[in-house]
Amino acid sequence: MTYEPIWGAIIAWYLFLAGLGGGAFVTSTFIRFRHPECRGLMRIGRIVAPVAVCIGLVLLMFDAMAGFQHPLRFALLLTNFGSVMTWGVVFLAAFVVVALIVAIMDFMKREVPAWLDILGTVMGLCVAAYTGCLLGVCQGFPLWNTALLPILFLVSAVSTGMAIVLLIGAFAKPDEFNQVVVLKKFHFWLPLVELILVAALLFVTSANPSPAGWASVMALIAGNWAVAFWVLFIAVGLVIPTILECWMLWIATHQLETSRTGQMVSAASDAGVLIGGFVLRLMIVSAALPITIVQPWML
């Protein structure tokens, strides 16, 4: 029996962009309080945040074609506050509103109140964690139904949010890019934390009583998704960025680190993080097998 995933690349893009948008806003707030002189990078994060989330929402609505035929289905999402999807809609709506207000105020060169940035950061973190909770409530999929998934998606969202701000900043605001050393050092540790969380997720899933858990893990590390897992996610998304940033932050001379060559090395690292962040979500969405499909006699 061949199992066709219930969700595909469109949902993976939605999860990626929603998390990236939340992470970008968190990054802009971090810059505000830790690097207030870098207003250009702060603005990049404030612009990327609502744009990324709005694009993700458009993709989500495009995937929910039945919703366009019956628009009231979207309204019904706000009627059940015992549902993760309802809370997701609330978080997304609140975040988009706050992020757009902040972006408009910044564009008009008006000072954004600190409380508004903090509120947007809280909503951004909720959106990032929600992308993992959305999958986690599916009890029939051992790869999804674990408390580690929202944590993993949250860490990955902050990492990709920082990566997109730094990547754009390396080209648009190179002088400010050299000043945000604290941000770079904080970002350096996130892929390492992500690697630990992924290992824990695979271990917990493989230990699930259902054979579906083991089959999902094998599909990732030794099956159809093995190349994407080891090359695009582990190597390109985690290991290589960690090595490059370790070199730039702690081994390379200050002259090399702040040179155009050093900036391009860091930009390549950030691009790798973005690739890994998307591939992670695509694999999690596509490789999960339901308990009802994988039976012992099939293994």
**% of residues, the chain, pLDDT over 70:** 87
Written as one string, the DSSP assignment of 277-291 is HHHHHHHHHHH---T
Q: How far is CA 31 from CA 34, 106, 138, 141, 147, in A?
A: 5, 14, 36, 38, 30
User: Which residue, 297, 285, 155, is CA-closest to 220?
Assistant: 285
Architecture of the structural domain at 9-298: Up-down Bundle (1.20)
- Rounded CA separation 244/256 (Å): 13
Of 2 and 91, the structure prediction assigns the larger pLDDT to 91
Q: How many Å apart are CA 215 and CA 223, to the nearest integer?
A: 9
**How far is it, in rounded angstroms, from Cα 276 to Cα 237?**
4
Instruction: Give the tokens for residue 244.
Output: 């490059």
| Token couple for 167 | 């990547």
Q: What angle do CA 260, 170, 238 make, to 5 degrees?
A: 100
* Residue 295 pLDDT exceeds 70: no
Confidence bin at 71 (pLDDT 50/70/90):
low
For the whole model, what pTM was predicted?
0.91
DSSP letters along 211-229, please?
Answer: HHHHHHHHHHHTSTTHHII
Tell me the per-residue pLDDT of 264-290, one tens digit each, with 9 for 90 and over: 999 999 999 999 999 999 999 998 888
pLDDT in tens, 183-225: 999 999 999 999 999 999 999 999 887 888 899 999 999 999 9
Q: What is the mean pLDDT of residues 24-49?
A: 97
Work out the average pLDDT over 43-66.
86
